[in-house]
Amino acid sequence: MEYFIQQLINGLTLGGIYALIALGYTMVYGIIQLINFAHGEFFAAGGYMGVILLSFLSANGYLATNPWLCLSGSIILAMIYCSLLATGVEKIAYKPLRKSSRLSVLLSALGMSIFIQNGLMLTQGVYDKPYPSIFSGGGFDFGNIKISYMQIVILLITILLLVFLNILVFKTRIGKAMRATAQDKTMSSLVGIKSDRVISITFIIGASLAAAAGIMVGMYYGSVGYNMGFVPGIKAFAAAVLGGIGNITGAMIGGLLIGIIEIFGAGYISSEYKDVFAFIILIGVLYFMPTGIMGENVDDTRV
Amino acid sequence: MIQEFKSKGKNYLIGLIWFFLLLWPLLGIHSDGTLSFAKAFYVWFYIFCASIIVVTVYIIHKKGLTLPLVKPLASATNKIYGYAASMPKPVLFIIIGVIAFLFPFFTERYAQDTAINVLIYICLGLGLNIVVGMAGLLDLGYIAFYGVGAYTYALLNTLYGLSFWLSLPIVAIFAGIAGCIVGYPTLRMRGDYLAIVTLGFGEIIRIIFNNWMQLTNGPNGILGIKPPAALIPSFANGFSFEYLYLKKLHYLYYAALLLAVFTIIVVSRLSASRIGRAWEAIREDETVAEMTGINTFSLKLLAYATGAVLGGIAGAFFAARMRFVSPESFTFIESAMVLSMVVLGGMGSIPGIILGVIALIALPEVFREFELYRMLAFGASMTLMMLFRPKGLIPSKRMGVRSEEKEE
Amino acid sequence: MKFKKLKLFVLTIITAIFISAGAFAETLKIGSMGPLTGPYAADGNDIANGVRSAIAVIEDEGGIEGFDKIELFAEDTACDPRQAVAAANKLINSEVIGVIGAYCSSATIPASEVLAEEDIIMITPASTNEKVTERELKYMFRMCGRDDDQSKAAVSFLKYKKAKTVFIIDDKTTYSQGLAENVAKGCEAAGIKVILHDHVNQGDKDFSAVLTKLKSKAPDALYMSLQNSATGSLMAIQAKRIGIEATILSQDAVYHPQFIDIAKDAAEGIYLTCGFMDKGTESYKNFIAKFQKITGTDKSGAYSVYAYDSAITLLKAIKKTGGTDPAKIKEAMLKMNYQGASKNISFKENGDSSSSYIIFKVENKNFKNHWNPETGELFSETK
């Protein structure tokens, strides 16, 4: 039983991380139906920004005196940085292609992903960078079960973001504009919504979420590397699709589900085949629910 | 000209400031707690200078001042195009064939090796073209079939000693079965749901290659695969035929050329056939295609199977040429690369895809000179090519405007 | 996008200048292969930098007679067999005498077949697959030790620690898995029970599931066989977090200062097997001085040192024969017996090099010599 609970906690944490990335992913995805390969790279850039700022602060001694202030400041700066990066990428690589086939944008995104990943490698070096250890230690012990503070923080932040995004999308004006743009760009521009601006804002939100996720992951695992965005990017894509494309709650559920399946697959059956279990369940779910768990009606969109 | 500068200048300046904002934190904040401005500024300044030159050249070009330089060049290329177009097709094919045949006589092994890769990827790209370009099904796990082909031949050859040419039909059958297995559950899905499921299948197959120690030898890979053999005319003791393993690169090149030509013929015949037209109908509008009496279920499955067979054959040749297979050759990024070749070249267009393959295989080799900057340059050029030719290098003539894209 | 295009443009010009400048002198060309991009770029760059250090050292000593300078062609394999073969062909076209590389066995094996066709000497600093030297290629050498040698040291240390049960984790690469299997076999033979031999996948970051499993089985020791030091530090951190008390033993791929930098406290007390590196020797000091000059840091991992020794061996052999005849160079290499930076270097007929593994322990953020399996004694400084 203890074993089961510990694994469940592990699964929830890993799922929380996937969900964190998938939330930003699904926002962008829902609005322009772009498989944004570069999203994983925004996540990595956020992680790097976090490590750069935090080690700068810690070397100057601010981190020891004001840890919370430093951390929140770094997160905000990293979010701004990633927003800048994302706006640039969107303006250069995606916007000119908005009227062409979706596969052209996909390819452009793949090019950007390779470019940013290698840009990070060249500017930041090939070695992984250590995070200053401030919050990573410590936790609660219940007998043999251990929960670290970081695990709780990750889950809390994921849930908070979920609530925040749902309010944003369903209760605010900009959310309404987003939904309208996602539904039909022509119609929404006819009723006075600047769809280009809405798309840019969505990109900014998505990239800032990725930046926050990058810092969380960096702090949880203790290091960041230039290629850290690739695998989580694919997992987040899977989570977003499993939950239903463009559905925020769905992305969260999808992320948690994939995380839990992986951990239980590894913990109870075989850890080398854990990704296989995750993908088999993904395929099974999509076979019976072709639009994902929370997906809405079948639309006729194709390649 | 000054006005031109003014109109471009604002965006250009914003771009430069934006770029500096992105660059500085990466190069200017150090983990030992110091800030520096020099390094980031130098990098930025180099780019600034170079970009000024390019922008100036671009504006001069726009103003038509370079016309005297460009015009003879353009007219020359136009002439060549016109000449090629006016030539009867068989003559054109013969010329290309002769050039392809004579290629190894004028080149060294590095060029031949790259050419073999290009030919293998032409087979792959054309195979994927059936699924993505003709039938309109997005497939992100295509490399799995390549892997199935490679491993099938590797196992047949190392365990049972079957020769390359004899193995090919078996390889085709196995790859076709794999195509059906992947195709079947995906038939109900559309768009990106399809993409993630095919991606999942691709990963599953790679993980199985990596973990099924007894069969595939896991990450160690399979060694000692025999290259294809052929009867080579020999003039040593009079005229006779010798049965030889094709170890030399130029022999392998001809074998690859043979496979590529075979694939090109198959795909071009298919696209002109009833089946090809039915696939295109499914791509343009599945619902309407179904209404007109096309059996979308079996045709989509057939698209997957045909694509898989072509990929599998390319894989078998890959195994025979490397004489070694390991799971590292079949990662997701390879699938993405093959897809890029198809999209970049122009979906559904055979000459386009050939050009796309040449671009994406040759570019990383050309960029070898940049060492560490190799993939950076590659990523940038991929985006650039897409920006300049969003429909592909040579777009297919029969590609329609799909309903959901027409609206915008 | 303009800017990126420009960067490219500038680069083209710079490289063009470099290439044209290098074309005149009588140069000795050697190549290196390794993953300079992609997930294993860290180790690939370590290898290239090791070779660069070696060239700098030899040039300082007065270079090689008959050649004005030594030029290095560092090619990228990205750990992909296809690109490795392309790189090998490129090196052949550049007319290199010898090649240091590659890193992944799956790149080394196909590349070596190509190089063998042209009688080019290849010394791998990192590929441990026994098949690398067992294919009877004439000019294939290996600088790193083989799996079987290293696993012997690991097993005897576990015996010395009186471990009764061991849990083995590897990350499914040729190297890590081969080593782990040899350790498992050795443990069974030595009467140490292997509770479970589990695998994780390359590129995984989260090991909580497998470590929780390990904790529930409560073994005496954990043998951690991983492909690179970054993965090692991730696992060490998570093992500490989850509260694992078993003795942790790892291997030479984890021997990198980066491991301690990232894992911090979690690295303390972890043991690892690596070739005996006497940091007091002349050759090690030469190496580290040049390495620091080239990379700006004295933090060198095992792969850099192996690559350095490989290159030094090759260049020394060329120097001795005074020419570029591969058969003579091979003969000279086989006769060699000198103290290198990583170990005492001598080659067997099949191309394998001798090796002497010892146990290191991480203490106070440093790798300390801990225990010598040959004598079965602790090193004096740790007593």
Q: Report CB contact under 8 Å: B374, C76.
A: yes
- CB atoms under 10 Å from CB of B12, counted, come to 16
Give the CATH number of domain C147-277+358-382. 3.40.50.2300
Q: Does C80 touch chain B (CB under 8 A)?
A: yes
DSSP per-residue codes, C94-161: TT-SEEE--SSHHHHHHHHHHHHHTT-EEEESS---GGGTTT--TTEEE-SPPHHHHHHHHHHHHHHT
Question: What residue spans define the domains of chain B?
Answer: 2-74, 108-399
CA angle A97, A102, A108 (to 5 degrees): 55
Measured in angstroms, the CA of A1 and the nearest CA of chain B are apart by 30
CATH homologous superfamily for C27-145+280-355? Response regulator (3.40.50.2300)
**Residues C79-97 pLDDT 10s:** 888 899 999 999 998 889 9
- Under the banding of pLDDT at 50, 70 and 90, the label for residue A298 is very low
Q: Report CB contact under 8 Å: A106, B26.
A: no
Among A75-79, A293-297, C122-126, C359-363, the minimum mean pLDDT is found in A293-297
Token match 């698209």: residue? B303
Distances (CA, A) of B120 to B127, B313, B347, B349: 11, 9, 18, 17
Task: List all residues of chain A from 14 to 43 with a beta carbon under 8 Å from chain B.
Answer: 29, 33, 35, 37
Q: How far apart, in whole angstroms, are the C-alpha atoms of residue B256 and residue B228?
A: 10
What is the helix, strand, coil percentage profile of chain C, to 5? Answer: 50, 20, 30
Q: Report CB contact under 8 Å: B220, C5.
A: no
Structure tokens at A111: 């090019």
DSSP state of A297: S
Structure tokens at A255: 């992320």
Out of A99, A118, A242, closest to residue B408 by CB: A99
Contacts of A130 in chain B (CB under 8 A): none
Contacts of C19 in chain B (CB under 8 A): 369
Out of A127, A136, A274, closest to residue C258 by CB: A127
Highest mean pLDDT: which range of B55-64, B378-387, C17-26: B378-387
Q: Report CB contact under 8 Å: C177, B218.
A: yes
pLDDT (average), residues A239-251: 87
Q: Please tell me whether the peptide bond between B150 and the residue prior to it is cis, using omega within 30 degrees of 0.
A: no
Helix A195-221 crosses helix A2-32 at what angle (to 10 degrees)? 160
Q: Report CB contact under 8 Å: C172, B51.
A: no
**Residues A255-266 pLDDT 10s:** 999 999 999 999
CB proximity list for B336: less than 8 A, separation 6 or greater: A37, A110, B140
CB C304 within 8 Å of CB C126:
no
pLDDT for position A303 = 34
Q: Kindly report the pTM of this predicted structure.
A: 0.89
pLDDT of B32 above 90: no
CB C273 within 8 Å of CB C150:
yes
Q: What does chain A come to in residues?
A: 303
- CB atoms under 10 Å from CB of C60, counted, come to 11
Pick the residue of A3, A115, A126, A234 with the most C CBs within 10 A to test the interface with C by mutation: A126
Name the average pLDDT for chain B.
85
Q: How far apart, in whole angstroms, are the C-alpha atoms of residue A267 and residue C218?
A: 15
CB B114 within 8 Å of CB C99:
no
Q: Does C90 touch chain B (CB under 8 A)?
A: yes
Structure tokens at C128: 């441990």
Contacts of C198 in chain A (CB under 8 A): 271-272
pLDDT of A84 above 90: yes
Out of A137, A225, A263, closest to residue C208 by CB: A263
Q: Does B207 touch chain C (CB under 8 A)?
A: yes
Q: Report CB contact under 8 Å: A185, B408.
A: yes
Contacts of A140 in chain C (CB under 8 A): none
Helix A2-32 crosses helix A248-264 at what angle (to 10 degrees)? 140
Interface contacts B/C by beta carbons within 8 Å: 127
Q: How far apart, in whole angstroms, are the C-alpha atoms of residue A238 and residue B62?
A: 45
pLDDT (average), residues C198-218: 89
C17 sits in which H/E element: helix C2-21
Q: How far apart, in whole angstroms, are the C-alpha atoms of residue A144 and residue A3?
A: 9
Measured in angstroms, the CA of B404 and the nearest CA of chain A are apart by 7
Q: Does B387 touch chain C (CB under 8 A)?
A: yes
**Residues B57-74 pLDDT 10s:** 887 877 777 777 777 888
Q: Does C19 touch chain A (CB under 8 A)?
A: no
Between these two residues, A11 and B402, which has the higher pLDDT value?
Answer: A11
Measured in angstroms, the CA of A269 and the nearest CA of chain C are apart by 11
Q: Report CB contact under 8 Å: B329, C80.
A: yes
- Which chains have 3+ CB pairs within 8 A of C? A, B
CB B396 within 8 Å of CB B346:
yes
Q: Does B30 touch chain C (CB under 8 A)?
A: no
A94 sits in which H/E element: none
Q: Report CB contact under 8 Å: A241, B189.
A: no
Complex confidence, ipTM: 0.88
CA-nearest residue to B330 within chain C is: C80
pLDDT of A222 above 90: no
DSSP per-residue codes, C26-78: -EEEEEEEE-SSSTTHHHHHHHHHHHHHHHHHHHHTT--TT-SEEEEEEEE-T
Topology of domain B108-399, CATH: ABC transporter involved in vitamin B12 uptake, BtuC (1.10.3470)
Q: Does B405 touch chain C (CB under 8 A)?
A: no
Specify the domain boundaries for CATH 3.40.50.2300 within chain C: 27-145+280-355, 147-277+358-382
Q: Does C4 touch chain A (CB under 8 A)?
A: yes
